[in-house]
């Protein structure tokens, strides 16, 4: 039995191709109807988190299964025959397991350490289970992936530092205020990075959201998204009195807030801390504002420096995470190999037990009356001999990892101990006669 992972991602395919492939999947039931109809695939999991479309499956004929998945991807009417030549990849067994663990642990994400992908994989698994597409192997694999992702998150600092300008702004605000819950946020302008920062702040429990924009309609629309309110730029002085955090990104080309304005506001605020983030280029806020007590002003360069430090930290922590993933991959493969030999081990034990019981019965009949202690002693003796004889073959089967021809070796063991008597037509005893 082989594990197979096929797909495309942000490293191999442009966004236009990924968008087309993602369009194959909106009807999950239809997609699984395809996957489950293929005789080459016994278990399957389809997942399409951001920037990837991948299928993990179990197959006894991996080449045929990979060809099926590729055909499925190529069935989109807008995909040209050669679109998949450079972007479609196939991973088998160890590479498939390791890739899947890395995806779940966000080591293969565009932003390493981002937390969203694990939830997306969990949702994909729920859908696969609902359509009865997974089985014992993929169920075990997926739950192990969840465990690996949790360990990576808990045992490394891969998600600790900011790696985007918007999140860096939030991280710096937390250093100043500690807890952002209930803090009032004033958004000056409606730039994309400022909007993203606002989303992060809201996720941290920020309280009142106020948007001040030159175009009031745009401000109203943005404020409505965050259950806030919109005000005009003329109301800025009064809004500064109640704001804890200000994010500015108007691109106006001139200073909208000066040092003297903030100085007057701080007296009225009784020196309550004010955190300002100027993402605009050219800057919206007077750099001299930072000279005031209890006022903390950061610009885009300050945030970029934090981002670079964050990336360096995450790269270091990713190295630790990769070692963890590699170790867990080997553990899972060992379980998979044991699973493959398990039927042979059971058959070997069953045959030995049957022979043992038959010979014991024959011997007891020939010996005549025995005491209960004598009978038990003979039973213990025969069971002990059987176990000792089976010990080495079983250990060989369990420990012989990744042989060149695993199916041939299992077949040899089954032939050696005649575990499939119907294969050659008749029992070994009859052949001897």
CB 218 within 8 A of CB 194: no
**Would you tell me how many other CB atoms lie within 10 Å of the CB of residue 17?**
21
**Residue 356 known to be catalytic:** no
State the distance between the two ends of the chain, measured CA to CA, in whole angstroms.
37
Rounded to the nearest 5 percent, the helix, strand and coil shares of the chain are 60, 10, 30
Q: Where are the beta strands (DSSP E) in 156-197?
A: 185-188
Cα dihedral sign, 234-235-239-245: negative
Strand partners, 56: 5, 45
Residue whose C-alpha is closest to residue 341's, from 290, 292, 394: 394
For residue 14, give the 3-state DSSP assignment.
Answer: coil
**Would you tell me how many other CB atoms lie within 10 Å of the CB of residue 318?**
21
Q: What is the DSSP letter of 403?
A: -
Cis omega (within 30 of 0) for bond into 282: yes
Burial class (CB in 10 A: 0-12, 13-18, 19+), 151: middle
Please provide residue 354's backbone torsions phi and psi, each rounded to the nearest 5 degrees.
-65, -45
Please provide residue 278's backbone torsions phi and psi, each rounded to the nearest 5 degrees.
-105, 100
As a whole number of angstroms, the distance between CA 77 and CA 194 comes to 39
Q: Do strands 2-9 and 52-59 pair parallel, antiparallel, or not at all (unpaired)?
A: antiparallel
Give the up-direction half-sphere exposure of residue 133: CA atoms within 13 A in the CB hemisphere. Answer: 28
For residue 276, give the 3-state DSSP assignment.
Answer: strand
CA angle 145, 146, 148 (to 5 degrees): 60
Cα dihedral sign, 146-150-153-155: negative
The string of DSSP codes covering 91-117 is EEHHHHHHHHHHHHTTSSSSSTT-SHH
As a whole number of angstroms, the distance between CA 311 and CA 396 comes to 46
Catalytic residue from among 6, 23, 50, 356: 50
- Residues designated catalytic: 50
């Amino acid at each position: 039995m082989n594990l197979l992972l096929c797909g495309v991602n942000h490293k191999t395919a442009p966004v236009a191709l990924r968008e087309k492939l993602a369009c194959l999947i909106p009807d999950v039931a239809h997609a699984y109807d395809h996957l489950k109809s293929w005789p080459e695939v016994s278990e399957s999991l389809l997942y399409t988190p951001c920037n990837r479309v991948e299928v993990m499956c179990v197959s006894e004929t991996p080449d045929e299964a990979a060809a099926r998945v590729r055909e499925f991807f190529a069935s989109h009417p807008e995909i040209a025959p050669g679109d998949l030549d450079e972007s479609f990849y196939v991973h088998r067994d160890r590479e498939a397991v390791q890739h899947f663990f890395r995806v779940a642990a966000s080591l293969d994400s565009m932003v390493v350490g981002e937390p969203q992908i694990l939830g997306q994989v969990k949702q994909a698994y729920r859908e696969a289970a609902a359509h009865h597409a997974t089985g014992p192997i993929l169920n075990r694999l997926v739950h192990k992936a969840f465990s690996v992702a949790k360990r990576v998150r808990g045992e490394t600092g891969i998600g600790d530092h900011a790696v985007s300008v918007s999140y860096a702004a939030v991280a710096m605000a937390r250093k100043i205020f500690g807890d952002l819950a209930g803090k009032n946020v004033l958004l000056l302008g409606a730039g994309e990075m400022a909007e993203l920062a606002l989303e992060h702040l809201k996720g941290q429990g920020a309280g009142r959201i106020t948007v001040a924009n030159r175009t009031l309609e745009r401000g109203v629309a943005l404020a409505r998204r965050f259950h806030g309110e919109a005000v005009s730029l003329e109301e800025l002085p009064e809004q500064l009195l109640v704001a804890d955090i200000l994010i500015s990104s108007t691109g106006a080309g001139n200073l909208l807030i000066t040092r003297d304005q903030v100085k007057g506001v701080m007296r009225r605020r009784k020196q309550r801390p004010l955190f300002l983030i100027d993402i605009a280029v050219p800057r919206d806020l007077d750099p001299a504002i930072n000279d005031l007590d209890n006022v903390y002003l950061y610009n885009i360069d300050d945030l970029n420096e934090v981002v670079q430090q964050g990336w360096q930290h995450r790269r270091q922590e990713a190295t630790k995470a990769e070692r963890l993933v590699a170790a867990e991959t080997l553990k899972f493969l060992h379980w998979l190999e044991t699973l493959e030999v398990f039927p042979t081990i059971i058959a070997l034990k069953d045959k030995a037990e049957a022979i043992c019981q038959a010979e014991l019965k024959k011997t007891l009949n020939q010996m005549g009356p025995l005491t209960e202690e004598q009978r038990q002693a003979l039973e213990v003796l025969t069971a002990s001999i059987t176990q000792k004889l089976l010990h080495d073959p079983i250990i060989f089967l369990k420990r012989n990892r990744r042989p060149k021809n695993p199916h041939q070796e299992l077949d040899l063991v089954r032939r050696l101990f005649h575990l499939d008597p119907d294969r050659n037509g008749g029992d070994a005893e009859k052949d001897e006669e």
